[in-house]
Amino acid sequence: MLMNINTNRQAYLALSCFIKLGPQTVNKLEKYFRSSKQIFYAGQFELERAGLNSKLAGEFVSWRKKFSLSETEEILTKESIKYVTKADFGYPLILKETHASPYILYYRGDVSLLSKTNYQALAVVGSRRHSAYAEKIVATIIPEIVNQEIIIISGLALGIDTHAHKAALIYHGKTIAVLGSGLDDKHIYPSINHSLMKEIIEKGGLILSEFPPFTPPLKGNFPQRNRIISGLSQATLVIEAAARSGALITANFALEQNREVLAVPGNIFSDYSRGTNHLLKLGAKLISHPADVLELYDCENSLLVKNSASRPKKITFKTIEEELIYNIIMSAHERGEKITTDEITDKSQLDTAVINSTLSILELGGVAKYDGIGYDIN
């Protein structure tokens, strides 16, 4: 005897637990049956008439007899997981307009981020293996982006994803992580980022997945996940990517979804930059400064844009440390703030002696000044 599914919302939840019915298949079935509830209760013959092959229709009918909605809802409650479906008001409109949009999104955290009146988001992606140059790009660009209340979206993966989420949190921005696994504690992937996942939630962010609880991080899930990352964003920024990086899959989805694709140029001799440099050849927007990103968004009050004209035309740095610390001071300056030595230490992670000597050099060079409270651009 079949259980009682009362709403389309419950039916979407049930259908998502039969993993062989992907979003394109469900969208196709909805055109025939007109509702997810009708799909769930359809007989094998009806499912075949709607376009499902005989084997899959038979498997679904057999699985349906064993499925327990109440048990599934208990699991969601136990794991602090909620869900939003295409039938719900809170489903993100920006994603609904894309091809093969997921009919359900499981989440942990503040789902209201997806329905903000002035919703603006930037996908930031790149390789797991990356250079120090890529980390520096993230540390330079992200602060100004989140300062304009633009949400940072990435995939919680090791590498650039992790750095993007962390930078957003450090600078008090909001970030959304889209996973290629279930959202139960056991299957958060990678497991080493479990604490980062919790921090994102605690600081008002959001964790998303279209996969039901207890779904392992299967290899094929991640390309599918990437279309959500790009679909939730007005633009996708590829920081650094090898020739076959998964970040390029996200960029391709962005193009298909009529979104902007942005790329940071890299060393032509570095394998880490082959993917991003290729994107630039194909016409991606070149990003060399946060203002290049912000001009795509509604940021009329941007301190960065207003103050960019006052930025020194060209400064020659003798060391990487000089440039890093200068950029940290500049980021504070463009927010209308001064920055203390302790804050510089925290953001740069450099040795105190190196920071003090570098600050002295910047002061002597006339590009930074100290007023007894904090450092600012001269």
- Provide the edge-to-edge strand list for the sheet that holds 82-85: 82-85, 104-109, 206-209, 175-178, 151-154, 121-125, 235-238, 260-263, 285-286
Question: Taking Cα atoms as reference points, which of 132, 93, 78, 145 lies closest to residue 348?
Answer: 132
pLDDT value of residue 183: 97
Q: Which residues in the chain come in under a pLDDT of 50?
A: 1, 301-313
User: What is the helix, strand, coil percentage profile of the chain, to 5?
Assistant: 50, 10, 40
Distance separating alpha carbons of residues 99 and 136, to the nearest angstrom: 34
CA atoms within 13 A on the CB side of 260: 20
Q: For residue 10, how many other CB atoms are within 10 A of its CB?
A: 20
pLDDT value of residue 5: 82
**Spatial CB neighbours of 32, under 8 Å, sequence gap ≥ 6:** 49, 50, 51
pLDDT tens digits for range 300-354: 544 443 343 334 445 778 888 888 999 899 888 877 788 999 999 988 888 888 9
Distance separating alpha carbons of residues 89 and 105, to the nearest angstrom: 13
pTM of the model: 0.78
pLDDT tens digits for range 57-113: 999 999 999 999 999 999 999 999 999 999 888 899 999 989 889 999 999 999 999
Per-residue tokens: 285: 């927007």
pLDDT value of residue 301: 44
pLDDT value of residue 130: 86
Q: For residue 53, how many other CB atoms are within 10 A of its CB?
A: 10
H-run or E-run covering 266: none
Provide the residue ranges of all domains of the chain, joining segments of one domain with +: 8-78, 104-294, 311-377
Per-residue tokens: 212: 């039901």
Query: Tokens 């599914």 identify what position?
Result: 5
Supply the CATH classification number for the domain 311-377. Answer: 1.10.10.10
Given CA atoms 210, 212, 213, 217 in this order, what sign does their dihedral have?
A: negative
Q: For residue 55, how many other CB atoms are within 10 A of its CB?
A: 9
Q: For residue 349, how many other CB atoms are within 10 A of its CB?
A: 9
User: Which CATH number is 104-294's, of 3.30.1600.10, 3.40.50.450, 3.40.190.10, 2.60.40.60?
Assistant: 3.40.50.450
pLDDT value of residue 307: 41
